[in-house]
Amino acid sequence: SFRAGFGFGAALLKLWPSCNSRNKTQRRHVAHFSFQPDPVPTQYGPTQKMNLFQSITSALDDTLASDPTAVIFGEDVAFGGVFRCTVGLRDKYGKDRVFNTPLCEQGIVGFGIGVAVAGATAIAEIQFADYIFPAFDQIVNEAAKYRYRSGNMFDCGNLTIRAPWGCVGHGSLYHSQSPEAFFGHCAGLKVVIPRGPVQAKGLLLSCIADKNPCIFFEPKILYRAAVEQVPVEPYTLPLSQAEILQEGSDVTLVAWGTQIHVMKEVANMAQEKLGVSCEVIDLQTILPWDIETVCKSVVKTGRLLISHEAPVTGGFAAEISSIVQEECFLNLEAPISRVCGYDTPFAHIFEPFYIPDKWKCFEGIKRMINY
The sheet with strand 98-100 has its strands ordered as 98-100, 71-74, 122-125, 159-165, 214-219, 190-192, 285-287
User: Each residue of 333-347: pLDDT tens digit?
Assistant: 999 999 999 999 999
Spatial distance between the Cα atoms of 313 and 336, rounded to a whole number of angstroms: 15
Is the dihedral angle over the CA atoms 6, 10, 16, 20 positive or is it negative? positive
pLDDT digits (tens, 9 = 90+) for 173-223: 999 999 999 999 999 999 999 999 999 999 999 999 999 999 999 999 999
Which of 80, 59, 92 lies closest to 231 in space, CA to CA? 59
Q: Would you state the pLDDT for residue 217?
A: 98
- Domains annotated for the chain, with CATH where assigned, are 42-231 (3.40.50.970), 243-370 (3.40.50.920)
Beta-bridge mates of residue 190: 214
Does residue 19 have a pLDDT over 80? no
The mean pLDDT value for 149-154 works out to: 96
pLDDT at 48 over 60: yes
The rounded distance, in Å, linking the Cα atoms of 269 and 62 is: 40
pLDDT tens digits, 243-284: 999 999 999 999 999 999 999 999 999 999 999 999 999 999
Q: Find, among 224, 228, 215, 218, the residue nearest to 256 by Cα.
A: 218
The pLDDT, as a whole number, for residue 29 is: 52
The pLDDT, as a whole number, for residue 31 is: 81
CA atoms within 13 A on the CB side of 19: 8
Mean pLDDT value across residues 22-26: 45
As annotated, the active-site residues are 105, 175
pLDDT range class, residue 12, cuts 50, 70, 90: very low
Indicate the pLDDT class of residue 9, thresholds 50, 70 and 90: very low
CA 278 to chain centre: 22
The arithmetic mean of pLDDT across residues 164-178, rounded, is: 96
pLDDT tens-place string over residues 313-363: 999 999 999 999 999 999 999 999 999 999 999 999 999 999 999 999 999
Mean of pLDDT values over 274-300 = 98
Give the closest residue to 293 by CA, choosing from 334, 330, 328.
328
pLDDT, average across residues 146-171: 97
> Can you give the pLDDT at residue 355?
96
Task: Report the mean per-residue pLDDT for the chain.
Answer: 93
Contact 77, 99 (CB under 8 A): yes
Q: How far is CA 67 from CA 26, 71, 205, 238, in A?
A: 45, 9, 12, 20
pLDDT given at position 30? 64
pLDDT at 17: 41
Q: Give percent of the chain above pLDDT 70.
A: 92
Predicted TM-score (pTM) above 0.75: yes
The reported pLDDT for the residue numbered 23 is 47
Please report, in angstroms and rounded to a whole number, the separation of the first and last CA atoms in the chain. 60
- Going by C-alpha positions, the residue among 196, 287, 211, 299 that lies closest to residue 242 is 287
